Structure 1
Amino acid sequence: MKVAVVGAGPAGVRAVEALLAAGIRPVWIDEAMDGGGRIYQRPPTGMRRDARTLYGFEAARATALHAALDAAKPRADWRPETLAWNIRPGRQQLHTLSAGTHGVVEYDAAILCTGAMDRVVPVKGWTLPGVTTMGGAQIALKSQGCGIGQRVAFLGSGPLLWLVAYQYAKAGAQVAAVLDTTPFAAKAAAAPGMLRGPATFAKGLYYIGWLRAHGVRIAEGVTPLAIEGEGSVSGIRWRDAKGAEHHADCDAVGIGWGLKPEAQLADLAGVPFNFDALQHNWVPRRDAAGRTPVGGIYLAGDGSGIGGAEVAELAGARAALALLEDAGRKVETAALDRRLEKLARFRSALEKAFPFPAHLAAGLPDDAIFCRCENLTVGELRATTAGPQIPAPEVNRAKAISRAGMGRCQGRVCGAAAAEILAARLGCGVAEVGRLRGQAPVKPIPLTAPPLVTTP
C-alpha cells in the first residue's frame, strides 16, 4: 500500500510513527529543512540554545516529538525541502517541487497534515517594513535567535499574542506594548470552560502575569487605528475601550488574530468545506477520525481545523489508525477518541475567549490596503458590489473583478478580511459570501523548473 504524508509537524510525525508501527513505509514530505512544524521549529545546526530556552513550558513535548521525528526519518521515505503544490485525486498523485525539480508522488492514500498560518486583520500601515505576523516573529526567534526589531509592539488576540510577547521579553527584547483587541470581559466569561484544560489555562495566566509584573504596557479591548512611520515602523496608535487614543513608539510590530487552516491541498483534492462559526474559519469536512468524503484522503492537525499542538499529535495518530482500519487492519482507538473529545471541549472555550474581531475588518476605511500583493484598497473591493459592473454577491466574483487574492499569497493573507468586508457591504453573514477557492500551485513555483518525474 502506497501512502503519502504531507507535513512533519506534530500531526505528521505521529501519523508516520503509527504507519511505521503497522509496517507501512510512507513517502513523507515537508516544505521545511527539518520537521517539528512551526510550533516546535528547530533551530539551524550549530545554534547553541537549549530546549528550555527555545520552547519554555513546551520543552519536554518538543524534545519528545523531535526524538520521534529523528527515529522515523530513516525508516520512512523522508523528503524535506519539498513543496507539495498540487494534488490530483482522480489519479492519486501529488505534484512536488524539490531543489528546483518537479516530481510526482503516487499514492493509494494520503494524510494531509498541512498546518496553519496566521490570520490577519489589515490595519492602516500594516504594509510598512517592520510589520510581520505573530508566527513570523516567533519563527525568527526560534530559528535564527533574533527579533523582528529592538522595540516591538504586539497587536492582535489569542494565546499566541501573549506567548510571543512573553518569549520576546524573556529573550531580552524591549516589548513596547501588548495590545489585545478582545475585551477582558469576553475572556473572563469563557474562563470556566477553559478550566477543562487546566495546564494550558495556567500557562496563559502565567504569561500575562509575568508581562504585567515586568512592567510591560498592556491594553485590552483596543481598537487599532494605525501603524505609523515614514519608510519603516516608528510607532503604533490605538483607541482603548473607553475611547481614549494612545500611542507607543516602536520599530517593529507583530500582528495576528489566531490561526487559519492551510487547507489548499484538501481543497484541490475535492474535499468539501464547512464554515465553522465558532472558529470563524472555513474548514475541510472530515469526521472525528480524520476521514474525508474523498476516498483515500485523510486530514489531521491544524490544517483541518485549529486545535493546537497537543490535539495535532493525537489527531495525526488517529488519522493513521483510520487509514489502517479502512485498509482492513484491526486497530484500537477508544483511548485516543476520549482524549480528543476532551480537548475539543477545551478548544471550544478558548475560541469563545478570543473571538475573531470581524468588526475590525468590516469597519476598515476605504483607503486602507487590504490586499498587499495587488495593492488593493478596501474601497476598491467595496466597489465590486455596485455600479456598472456585475455586482459581486460572493468573494470569488469580487476576485474576478478586483484581482483580490490573485497575488503571490493567493488570498491566504487577505481572504478572511475580504470576506468580512464584502459581507458587511452586502448586509449578509460572512458564510454567505463564501471563500476563495484553492488553485494550483498552492504557492509560487518557478516556470523554468525541469519537467515532472514520477516516483513510486
Structure 2
Amino acid sequence: MTRVLIVGAGPAGIRAAEAVAKAGLRPIVVDEAARAGGQIYRRPPEGFRRAAATLYGSEAVKAQRLHDLFDAMVKAGQVEHLPEHSVFALRDGVAHVAGAGGGRRIPYDRLILATGATDRVVPVPGRQSAGVYTLGAAQIALKAQGMALGRRIVLAGSGPLLTLVAVQLIKAGAGVAAVLDTSSYADQIWGAAGMALARPRVTLRGLRMRAALGRLYHADARLVRIATDDQGRIALHLQDARGRPQDTPCDAVAMGWHLRAETQLADLAGARFVWSMDWAQWLPQADPMGRAGPGLYLAGDGVRILGADAAERAGTLPAQACLQDLGHPVAGTGALLRQVARLDRFGRAMARAFPWPAPQVHALPDTTILCRCEGVTVGDLRAAADLGGAEANRVTSIGRIGMGRCQGRYCQLAAAELIARQVGCPVPDAGRLRGQPPVRPVPIAALLEAEEG
C-alpha cells in the first residue's frame, strides 16, 4: 500500500487525512501537539473544564467538528496518529522523527506538509526582557492552560490575530491595558474594502470584535522601546498617530505582526520559493492544488497565509492532488478551487490592511537585540552586511544571525529588511536563509536511537 505521511494535525492536516482515509489509504499523521487541532483550534489537556465556546468563541462549532472528526478516524483505525512527535529532517523519502520514546525513521511515498504558521515578529528595543511574549504564546497559554500571561497586558503589532487575542483575553477575564496597532486607519480602510468584497460576513465579524475593544484600541502606533526595572515592572514606550510620546505601564507585552509561514520542512523536501510582495516573506511555490514537487504536496498556511477556513479547503486540495497522482478518482475539486481563490483574495486584501511595518524596522537603533537565540544586535547585522554584501547566508556566516535554535524563524524577515536597507537593494535580492536539519532542537538520543517505523 502507498505510504502517505502528513505532517501537522491542524485544520489543513485533518482535512487532508480525511480525504486520504476516504480513498482507502491509511495515512500517518505526525504532530507536535498532544492533541489534534493545530494552533487556531488548540485543545487543552484531557479533563480541562472550560467549554469550547469559551475557548474558541464564534469558531467553537468548527473546532469541535474537526476535533470529533479526527478522533473518530483515529479510533476507527483509519489514521495512525503520532502526537508529540516532531519531524526534524527529511531525506530520500524518509522522515526523521523525534518523540518521547526517542527517534524513529518513517519511510513515505507521498508527503503532505500541513505545517501551519508562526508569529511574525518585528524587533522592538527591550523585547528580550522577561514578560515579553508573542501573541501566539499568549493564545497558547489561554487555550491550553486557561491562564493569562499577566494581570495588565499590552498587546502590540498588527493583523487580525491582534484583535482576536485581545477579545479572547478580555472574555476570559484578563486585564488588557492597551491594544496597539502599527497599521494606520487609512491602510485598514483600503484593505477592508477588498476584504468585504471577498468575505463580507467575516469582515463584519472582525469589525464588531474591533468595536468591542473600544478605547483600548489605538491605530498607527510606533513602538519605541520596552522598558523594565529590577522589580519586574514593564512599560511600553510609543509614539501615537500624531507623534506624541506615550507610556503604557503593564506587567506583560504580547507582540505579533500577523503570521509567517512555517517552511523549513518544505525547504528540505525540495520546494522552490518565491518572494511574496503581499506578505513580505518567502513562500514555497505550489500549483493551485498544492503540488510542490514529485510526491510533495503543501497544505494550509505553510504555503499561503489564509487562515483556518481556507486551511480546511487547502488541506483537502493537496490530498486530492495526491490521490489523483495515484490514480484515485476525486470529486468536488472545481468548487474547492473557486472557494480557495475567493479566500486568497480576502487574504491579499488583509495583507494590505495590516502591512509589514518596514519603516519601523529600518529605524531600529543599533543596540536592539535582533536575534534572541544568539544575542545578535541590529548593529552587529549592519556591520556584517557591510562585509558580506546583499546575501543573507553570507551575512549569517559572518554575524550568526539565524544560527540559533529557531533557525531564523523570528528574526529572518527583519534581518532581510535590514540587509537590503544597509546595502541598498530590494529585499528579495537579500535572499533567504537555507533550511538546515534538524529543523527543531532534538535530543541526541533521537539521533542515535532512530529506528525504521
1:407 aligns with 2:404: yes
Partner letter of residue 451 of structure 2?
Answer: V
Partner of 2:223: 224
Is contact 1:137–1:147 with CA below 8 Å preserved after alignment?
yes
Gaps of 5+ in 1: none
CA deviation string 1:379-419 (max 9, x = no partner): 11000133xxx433211111000111111111111111111
1:256 aligns with 2:256: yes
Partner of 1:198: 200
Partner of 1:66: 67
CA deviation string 1:138-159 (max 9, x = no partner): 1100000001100000010000
Give the Cα–Cα distance (whole angstroms) in 2 for the partners of residues 228 and 366 of structure 1. 17
Partner of 1:186: 187
Cα offset, 1:448, TM superposition: 3.2
CA deviation string 1:227-282 (max 9, x = no partner): 11124351111001211000111000000001011110000011110001101111
SS at match of 1:265: helix
Give the Cα–Cα distance (whole angstroms) in 1 for the partners of residues 390 and 334 of structure 2. 45
Give the Cα–Cα distance (whole angstroms) in 2 for the partners of residues 374 and 393 of structure 1. 21
With normalisation by structure 1, the TM-score equals: 0.96
SS at match of 2:388: coil
Written as runs of structure 1 = structure 2, the 5 A alignment for 1:262-411 is: 262-292=262-292, 294-332=293-331, 333-386=333-386, 390-411=387-408
Is contact 1:6–1:112 with CA below 8 Å preserved after alignment?
yes
Give the Cα–Cα distance (whole angstroms) in 1 for the partners of residues 327 and 236 of structure 2. 58
Is contact 2:121–2:256 with CA below 8 Å preserved after alignment?
yes
Give the Cα–Cα distance (whole angstroms) in 1 for the partners of residues 303 and 240 of structure 2. 35
SS at match of 1:235: strand
Give the Cα–Cα distance (whole angstroms) in 2 for the partners of residues 94 and 174 of structure 1. 44
SS at match of 1:448: helix
Gaps of 5+ in 2: none
Partner of 1:452: 450
CA deviation string 1:119-149 (max 9, x = no partner): 0001011011111000110110000000110
Give the Cα–Cα distance (whole angstroms) in 2 for the partners of residues 327 and 78 of structure 1. 22
Partner letter of residue 19 of structure 1?
Answer: V
Give the Cα–Cα distance (whole angstroms) in 2 for the partners of residues 391 and 416 of structure 1. 17
Is contact 1:363–1:421 with CA below 8 Å preserved after alignment?
no
Partner letter of residue 209 of structure 2?
Answer: Y
Partner of 2:89: 86
SS at match of 2:50: coil
Partner of 1:139: 140
1:123 aligns with 2:124: yes
SS at match of 1:416: helix
Is contact 1:260–1:305 with CA below 8 Å preserved after alignment?
no
Cα offset, 1:100, TM superposition: 4.4
Partner letter of residue 79 of structure 1?
Answer: L
Distance 1:242 1:351, change over 3 A: same
- How many pairs are equivalent? 446
CA deviation string 1:28-85 (max 9, x = no partner): 1101101100000001111111111000011111111111111122321111111001
Written as runs of structure 1 = structure 2, the 5 A alignment for 1:426-441 is: 426-441=423-438
With normalisation by structure 2, the TM-score equals: 0.97
Partner letter of residue 25 of structure 1?
Answer: R
Give the Cα–Cα distance (whole angstroms) in 2 for the partners of residues 59 and 113 of structure 1. 21
Give the Cα–Cα distance (whole angstroms) in 1 for the partners of residues 351 and 313 of structure 2. 20
Written as runs of structure 1 = structure 2, the 5 A alignment for 1:90-101 is: 91-101=92-102
Is contact 1:113–1:301 with CA below 8 Å preserved after alignment?
yes
Give the Cα–Cα distance (whole angstroms) in 2 for the partners of residues 86 and 305 of structure 1. 22
Partner of 1:77: 80
SS at match of 2:96: strand
Give the Cα–Cα distance (whole angstroms) in 1 for the partners of residues 24 and 144 of structure 2. 34
Is contact 1:227–1:233 with CA below 8 Å preserved after alignment?
no
Is contact 1:131–1:233 with CA below 8 Å preserved after alignment?
no
Give the Cα–Cα distance (whole angstroms) in 1 for the partners of residues 359 and 102 of structure 2. 44
Cα offset, 1:445, TM superposition: 0.7
SS at match of 1:313: helix
Partner letter of residue 211 of structure 2?
Answer: G
Cα offset, 1:179, TM superposition: 0.4
Partner letter of residue 312 of structure 1?
Answer: A
Give the Cα–Cα distance (whole angstroms) in 2 for the partners of residues 382 and 448 of structure 1. 38
Give the Cα–Cα distance (whole angstroms) in 2 for the partners of residues 63 and 442 of structure 1. 31
Cα offset, 1:199, TM superposition: 2.0
Is contact 1:129–1:233 with CA below 8 Å preserved after alignment?
no
Is contact 2:103–2:445 with CA below 8 Å preserved after alignment?
no
Cα offset, 1:192, TM superposition: 1.6
For the aligned residue pairs, the C-alpha RMSD in angstroms reads: 1.1
Cα offset, 1:218, TM superposition: 2.2
Cα offset, 1:321, TM superposition: 0.5
CA deviation string 1:10-37 (max 9, x = no partner): 0000000001100000111101101100
Partner letter of residue 47 of structure 1?
Answer: F
CA deviation string 1:75-108 (max 9, x = no partner): 21111111001111xx211110111411111111
